[in-house]
Structure 1
Amino acid sequence: MSCGYAHFSFQNSSEDLRVAKKKKSSNESGIRELVWVDPKTIDDNPLNWRKHPARQKQAISASIKANGWAGTLIFNETTGRLVDGHARKDVAIRDGTDAVPVLLGNWTEEQEKHLLATLDPLGAMAETDAAALQSLTDSLKEDEEHLKDVEKEEKEILTDLTKQLEGYAHDVSTGAQKKTFLPKQRVVPDVDDYESIEEWELMRDDDALEVVINEDSIFFSTNDWGIPDLIPELLYDGCPDAIWGREPDFDVSNPHAWYCQSARPFPAEREGGILGFYTDDRRFEVTWNRKSGYTDRLLEEKWAAVCAPDFSILWEWPRAVKIYNIYRSRWLQRLWQEAGIPVLPALRWDHTDESFDYALSTLPEGMAVATVQCRNYNKDKRTWKRFMEGLEESISRLGPETILIYGGGNEDNSRYLKKLPSGTNYVLLDSYVGTRRKKMRKTFT
């Protein structure tokens, strides 16, 4: 941190806060003083091991706007690196904040490594008073007075966060806490089913009402399109290596086997596997039309991962429909992640360069595996050219480690896939239909 910084000065009573003005000797290890610093001048620590997803940063931003700064960054003057507060620094830069509170201190490099490794784990060692936490959460739900002056977007984020924390106290106390929050809501009865408003209000507030997935949830998004962000920790990092084509001798214990939605029902003895939707839209519209029920079905079926529903974005379709279909696909993937199901993202684009923006750039960068469908284009040079352009753009924008080309093992298509764009690894997998055709040819020849 090479720039100058403003020393902290208290606005409150000096009598009450005199002790906070005391400074340590610059030769002692530990915190020395509090200053306000331009966040853009603060260097990150290359040893920082914490990852901060977009939805966490959105919640931090909303909290700061609603409550002001209640925590500081910690900066080591000895090494010139940040020790704690990387997410808050990033949020401040994104929000255009001129200065952030920073605790300056002096630590050796070894001490800095120790702090980096232990600050968060030490905090996580605290035990939970479930009753006290639940009481505090309940009070937040009842009193939203502190949010009255907060902008609508930040208010929605904080209100949603409070809803997500319902029942968290019990989960923490029992060791059942999850990294995700499945959006849920109570099924409120129709007022017309009751003889009076008073009777309906009693039923509406009944804690025994059925709780279902909230199908109107708006998930966090960091892109201009509002397309939901995916959770990096729940992106599947395995790669399908076989496709089930109803062969009686197929190894159904293979956890990386691909199963196509249109091929249901699947073997009862199946173990894991990846569920894919590269088939006609009508065969998987159920995923959107019955979001809650289909999510329950996926959980019961215990898939190793689920691929993105491949809602069509045909070239001749209106732009709005294509964007909506990308939104639907990504919304469902985020919902399934919130249910704890790993997902495989799908690479999509059409004949317009704009599709690279809303269909590709809204996916996470650096994915371990991404999928793309390769249809039998019957020597249509224009379509094959666009397919290759899309692959190049995917690699340039996202840098996936591996791209699985579904249908790439097809004999007709494999001839056109000899000169794939460099910059990633490829796995060519035949389609379900292609696998079935090969089996039929063997049967009747």
Structure 2
Amino acid sequence: MIDFENLDKCLFHGVGYYDIPQIEPVTEYPDGEFIPMNYANKEKNPAEKIIHCFVHDYQFSRYWNRPDNYIQRLSQFRAVCSPDFSTYTDMPLAMQIYNHYRKHWIAAYWQRHGITVYPSISWSDERSFEWCFDGEPRGSVVAISSVGTQADKKSKRLFIRGYEEMMDRLKPLCVICYGRVPKECGQKIIGIPPYYDVIVNRRKGLVK
């Protein structure tokens, strides 16, 4: 196998038109504090923390570029969420699909090494529904982010439309939502405040 794009490390049998690696479901409810991926190396109590990747892509691109360098460290955490590589509506469709593939390759690779991985579900517009749920498990706890999607009517509409499609196709056990939870999302959801809000509140003495 050619030594590039991690194909030398593992070639998963994919699903869907684009051969997206399948992620296995996780049915354990999250029990631990969520922290951003860029705080992982400095965390002193990893067994009590769950890592998410709802940050800028450059903060976690190294996990794709050098996946074997971080397996041991990530294994120390209670769980991680699959990398949320961007699928913005104004990105070329080919790049969106590539980012979806990368997310699934890393998540499947982590699971193969015994790491508990909550699937991070993302979408752009209705065109992405043809592939953005490929490889995602049914009946699993899943994670999403609403950050940056509630600023205007169009972006909010796309978020709610994708959320409804996700619920219909994947039938998740529950949904972890990083950011503000829109009222349209219903009851089957766990809201996680953005980490910068947690830091600010800690400085104000509002949380420990």
Shorter-chain TM-score: which interval?
Answer: 0.7 to 0.9
For residue 355 of structure 1, report the CA deviation from its aligned partner.
1.0
Q: In 1, are the aligned partners of 2:21 and 2:104 still within 8 Å (CA)?
A: yes
> Which residue in the other structure is 2:122 paired with?
348
> Which residue in the other structure is 1:429 paired with?
192
Distance 1:267 1:390, change over 3 A: same
> Quick check: which has more Rg, 1 or 2?
1
Match of 2:51 among 257, 275, 282: 275
Distance 1:214 1:296, change over 3 A: farther
Deviation track 1:107-160 (CA, whole Å, cap 9, x = no partner) reads xxxxxxxxxxxxxxxxxxxxxxxxxxxxxxxxxxxxxxxxxxxxxxxxx9xxxx
Matched position secondary structure for 1:428: strand
Structure number with higher relative contact order (C-alpha < 8 Å, ≥ 6 residues apart): 2
Match of 1:295 among 67, 71, 77: 71
Match of 1:314 among 81, 88, 91: 88
In structure 1, C-alpha distance between the alignment counterparts of 2:105 and 2:11, rounded to whole Å: 8
Match of 1:402 among 139, 156, 174: 174
How large is the RMSD of aligned CA atoms in angstroms? Answer: 2.3
In structure 1, C-alpha distance between the alignment counterparts of 2:101 and 2:46, rounded to whole Å: 31
> Which residue in the other structure is 1:365 paired with?
138
In structure 2, C-alpha distance between the alignment counterparts of 1:348 and 1:260, rounded to whole Å: 17
Deviation track 1:152-207 (CA, whole Å, cap 9, x = no partner) reads xxxx9xxxxxxxxxxxxxxxxxxxxxxxxxxxxxxxxxxxxxxxxxxxxxxxxxxx
In structure 1, C-alpha distance between the alignment counterparts of 2:149 and 2:158, rounded to whole Å: 11
Matched position secondary structure for 1:360: coil
For residue 306 of structure 1, report the CA deviation from its aligned partner.
1.2
1:229 partnered with 2:15: no
For residue 296 of structure 1, report the CA deviation from its aligned partner.
3.1
Distance 1:293 1:214, change over 3 A: farther
In structure 1, C-alpha distance between the alignment counterparts of 2:161 and 2:130, rounded to whole Å: 14
2:193 maps to amino acid: D
With the length of structure 1 as denominator, give the TM-score of the two structures: 0.42
In structure 1, C-alpha distance between the alignment counterparts of 2:142 and 2:118, rounded to whole Å: 6
Matched position secondary structure for 1:271: helix
> Which residue in the other structure is 2:100 paired with?
326
Residue correspondence of structure 1 range 2-401 to structure 2 within 5 A = 215-232=8-25, 235=26, 237-239=28-30, 255-299=31-75, 302-351=76-125, 353-367=126-140, 369-377=141-149, 379-401=151-173
Distance 1:276 1:340, change over 3 A: same
Deviation track 1:370-424 (CA, whole Å, cap 9, x = no partner) reads 110011446411111111111100011111021111012xxxxx5xx2232x5x6
Q: In 1, are the aligned partners of 2:23 and 2:135 still within 8 Å (CA)?
A: no
In structure 2, C-alpha distance between the alignment counterparts of 1:437 and 1:288, rounded to whole Å: 31
2:155 maps to amino acid: T
Matched position secondary structure for 1:336: helix
Matched position secondary structure for 1:393: helix
Q: In 1, are the aligned partners of 2:20 and 2:134 still within 8 Å (CA)?
A: no
2:50 maps to amino acid: I
Identity %: 27
> Which residue in the other structure is 1:126 paired with?
none
Q: In 2, are the aligned partners of 1:238 and 1:256 still within 8 Å (CA)?
A: no
> Which residue in the other structure is 1:419 paired with?
184
With the length of structure 2 as denominator, give the TM-score of the two structures: 0.87
Matched position secondary structure for 2:47: coil
Distance 1:265 1:229, change over 3 A: closer
